[in-house]
């Protein structure tokens, strides 16, 4: 299992268009083979900064998604709205602290 975190900084005038597009594709991304979890976060101090947080069964599934027509469509629509280059991390969970 791996977690993918992507930080995206948008031109402020493009945030609503991004949110509208995300609304149309979120279920399709979440149901992509190997994706077990998907959340979207918004920075509290800068409303033009967003993070996606997704969990994948393993890197093979993440790479299949990144090569898919779905990803290419999502990225082609999203990338032109950025104010700076997106940053992405693939991380392993070391500890989970439950209540």
For the structural domain made of 2-91, what CATH number should be given?
3.30.70.100
Model confidence band, residue 69 (pLDDT cutoffs 50, 70, 90): very high
How far is residue 37's CA from residue 48's CA, in Å, rounded to a whole number? 23
Domain spans of the chain, in order of start: 2-91
pLDDT of residue 99 exceeding 90, the answer is no
DSSP symbol at 6: E
Determine phi and psi for 31, rounding to 5 degrees.
-90, 5
Segment 21-30, tens digit of pLDDT? 999 999 999 9
Average pLDDT over residues 23-48: 98
pLDDT of residue 61 exceeding 90, the answer is yes
pTM, to two decimals:
0.93
Would you say 52 and 38 are in contact if contact means Cβ atoms under 8 Å apart? Answer: yes
């Amino acid at each position: 299992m791996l977690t993918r975190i992507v930080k995206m900084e948008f031109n402020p005038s493009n945030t609503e268009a991004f949110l509208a597009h995300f609304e149309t594709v979120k279920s399709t991304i979440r149901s992509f083979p190997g994706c077990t979890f998907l959340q979207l976060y918004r920075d509290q101090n800068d409303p033009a900064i967003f993070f996606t947080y997704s969990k994948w069964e393993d890197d093979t599934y993440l790479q299949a998604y990144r090569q898919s027509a779905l990803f290419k469509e999502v990225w082609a629509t999203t990338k032109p709205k950025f104010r700076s280059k997106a940053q992405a991390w693939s991380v392993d969970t070391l500890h989970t602290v439950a209540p």
